[in-house]
Amino acid sequence: MFSEDLVQRLSQGDLQALCELDARGVFCGDDEDAQTLAERIRALQENQRKFNLTLQEQGQAEIEDLSVRQQDQIPPELFEQPAQITERLFRFNIDWTSGFFVDPAGGLFFGGCAYYFFPDFFVLFIIRRSFKDKPGWLFYQRDELLAHELCHVSRVALKSQVYEEILAYQTATTAFRRFFGGIFRRPADSFAFIGLAVLLFAAQLGRALFLPALPAWPAWLPLTLFCAWLLRRHLGDMRRLRQAGKNLTAYFPADSVQALLFRCTDREILALAELERRENLLTWLQNRQQSSLRWRVIMARFSPEKHHCDPTP
């Protein structure tokens, strides 16, 4: 997974080791230094060792309410194409996760998800058994689904809400999903939408069966207002993300901007969107580089200057 030499160099703040981890999808949190990041990697390796041992001895293992079987493990080659997608879009390639084919109880439209824990770091992927023999099922594509979840795993330390889904949906194959896929920031947004849709259905059913004289429009009002609010919020999020990317091109190559934004917290994206003058951007970058280990790595990997590090292990 990660060599002891790499973890040791990481704990000492070696920039080359930090760049290698970044390229493998391990980003520093705002409250992490090199030592705490090394401890997180050691926790991941220990948790993975215990998990693998349980699988080997018992043939299955449990994570919270999930049970997985050794015989259902996803072959490593199925991660190759998703890893190429994340490398092309965001310059990282996760090669240290495991996954399983699972059909959860009650998951009629379940496609897949990632179980990840932080700061006691551990990651596990599960996808529908249908993907074992074919790349697509209903409206899901296996490669896109895995690439999407790899994005969430890599950004776990950034504790993002506003741009988490927006950035992960950049792995989508259609422009519509890339733009609108992140309109639901949190599960609460989707639950509210479903609840209002069910309420509308119940109101329409009651009107049709019992009170046909009542006007139809009041039943549509809550859902319409909620959708309008979601759309307005999402358009604002996308506008600020585009502006942040545009401002970054004042210093960074255009083909690095998406990877840079991917490594930003919500607060950093909002701040970058306001830095329209190049000198303000340079000052901001200098300050972040001094205060954030993650930004020292970002500058080392993506700066157009010649002193950047090579993340190749």
Q: Which pLDDT does position 211 carry in this prediction?
A: 74
Arithmetic mean of pLDDT over the chain: 90
DSSP 3-state helix, strand, coil percentages of the chain (rounded to 5)? 60, 10, 30
Q: Answer yes or no: is 131 within a domain.
A: yes
Distance CA 174, CA 183 (A): 15
Q: Answer yes or no: is 16 within a domain.
A: yes
Rounded to 5 degrees, φ, ψ at 280 are: -70, -40
Q: Which pLDDT does position 275 carry in this prediction?
A: 93
- How many domains is the chain built from? 1
Q: Answer yes or no: is 286 within a domain.
A: no
CB 294 within 8 A of CB 262: no
CB 78 within 8 A of CB 146: yes
Q: Answer yes or no: is 99 within a domain.
A: yes
Cis previous bond, 253, omega within 30: no
Is the pLDDT reported for residue 123 higher than 90? no
Long-range contacts of 58-64 (CB under 8 A, 24+ apart): 63/115, 63/122, 63/124, 64/115
| Tens of pLDDT, residues 38-97 | 999 999 999 999 999 998 889 988 887 788 888 889 888 999 999 999 999 999 999 998
Q: Collapse the DSSP code of 215 into the 3-class scheme (helix H, G, I; strand E, B; otherwise coil) and give the result.
A: coil
Is the pLDDT reported for residue 118 higher than 60? yes
Which residues are CB-contacts of 294 (< 8 A; sequence separation ≥ 6)? 27, 28, 29, 30, 32, 263
Take residue 159 and report the two structure tokens written for it: 């504790």
Host domain of residue 36: 1-159
Q: Which pLDDT does position 306 carry in this prediction?
A: 52
| Tens of pLDDT, residues 200-247 | 888 888 877 777 777 767 778 999 999 999 999 999 999 999 999 999
CA 42 to chain centre: 22
Q: Answer yes or no: is 154 within a domain.
A: yes
Rounded to 5 degrees, φ, ψ at 162 are: -65, -50
Q: Answer yes or no: is 73 within a domain.
A: yes
CB 168 within 8 A of CB 138: no
| Tens of pLDDT, residues 159-175 | 999 999 999 999 999 99
Q: What percent of the chain is modeled with pLDDT above 70? A: 95
Q: Answer yes or no: is 93 within a domain.
A: yes
- C-alpha distances in Å from residue 20, one per residue of 25, 26, 52, 294: 9, 9, 25, 12
Q: Which of 26, 46, 48 is closest to 37 using CA atoms?
A: 26
Q: Which pLDDT does position 106 carry in this prediction?
A: 55
Distance CA 51, CA 250 (A): 46
Distance CA 123, CA 161 (A): 19
Specify the pTM.
0.89
Q: Answer yes or no: is 6 within a domain.
A: yes
Q: Identify the residue whose tokens are 């069966």.
A: 209
Q: Which pLDDT does position 13 carry in this prediction?
A: 92
Q: Which pLDDT does position 105 carry in this prediction?
A: 62
